[in-house]
Amino acid sequence: MTESGIDIPALGLGTYRNTDPETCAASVRTALDVGYRHIDTAEAYGNEEAVGEGLTAADVPRDEVFLATKVLHPKFADGYSRVEIVESARACIDRLDVDGVDLMYGVHWPDGGYEPADTFAACGDIVDEGLAEHIGVCNMTPSQIDTAQDHADVPISVLQVEMHPLLPQRELRSYCADNDITLVAYAPLGNGAVLEVPELVEIGEKYDASAAQISLAWLRAKEVVAIPKASTEAHIRENWASRELELDAADIDAIDNLGVTDRQYDPDYAPAW
What is the model's pLDDT at position 1?
37
What residue type is assigned to position 78 of the chain? D
Per residue in 94-107, is it b (16+ CB within 10 Å) or e — as a string? ebbebebbbbbbbb
Burial class (CB in 10 A: 0-12, 13-18, 19+), 2: buried
Q: How far apart are CA 70 and CA 217, in angstroms?
A: 26
Q: What is the DSSP letter of 172?
A: H
127 three-class SS: helix
- The closest alpha carbon to 144, from 169, 119, 177, belongs to 119
Per-residue pLDDT of the chain (273 residues; tens, 9 = 90+): 344 568 899 999 999 999 999 999 999 999 999 999 999 999 999 999 999 999 999 999 999 999 999 998 766 666 678 999 999 999 999 999 999 999 999 999 998 788 999 999 999 999 999 999 999 999 999 999 999 999 999 999 999 999 999 999 999 999 999 999 999 999 999 999 999 999 999 999 999 999 999 999 999 999 999 999 999 999 999 999 999 999 999 999 999 999 989 999 999 989 999
- Give the pLDDT confidence score for residue 78 in this predicted structure: 62
Radius of gyration of the chain (CA): 18
CA angle 75, 79, 82 (to 5 degrees): 110
| φ/ψ of residue 240, rounded to 5 | -65, -35
What pairing do the DSSP bridges indicate for beta strands 156-162 and 101-107? unpaired
Q: Using CB atoms within 10 A of its CB, is residue 228 exposed (0-12), middle (13-18) or buried (19+)?
A: buried
Q: Strands (DSSP E) along 20-122, which ranges?
A: 38-40, 66-70, 101-107
Beta bridge partners of 69: 104
Residue pair 224/184 in contact (Cβ under 8 Å)? The answer is yes
Q: Annotated catalytic, 45? A: yes
- Domain positions in the chain: 13-256
Q: List strands edge to edge, sheet with 66-70.
A: 13-14, 38-40, 66-70, 101-107, 132-138, 156-162, 182-186, 225-226
Q: Identify the three-state secondary structure at position 212.
A: helix
Q: What is the pLDDT of residue 73?
A: 74
SS3 74: coil
Q: In sequence order, what E strands does 95-233 have? A: 101-107, 132-138, 156-162, 182-186, 225-226
Catalytic-role residue among 36, 45, 114, 175: 45
Q: Which fold, 13-256?
A: TIM Barrel (3.20.20)
Q: How far apart are CA 188 and CA 225, in angstroms?
A: 9
Distance between CA 95 and CA 254 in Å, rounded?
44
Pairing of strands 38-40, 13-14: parallel
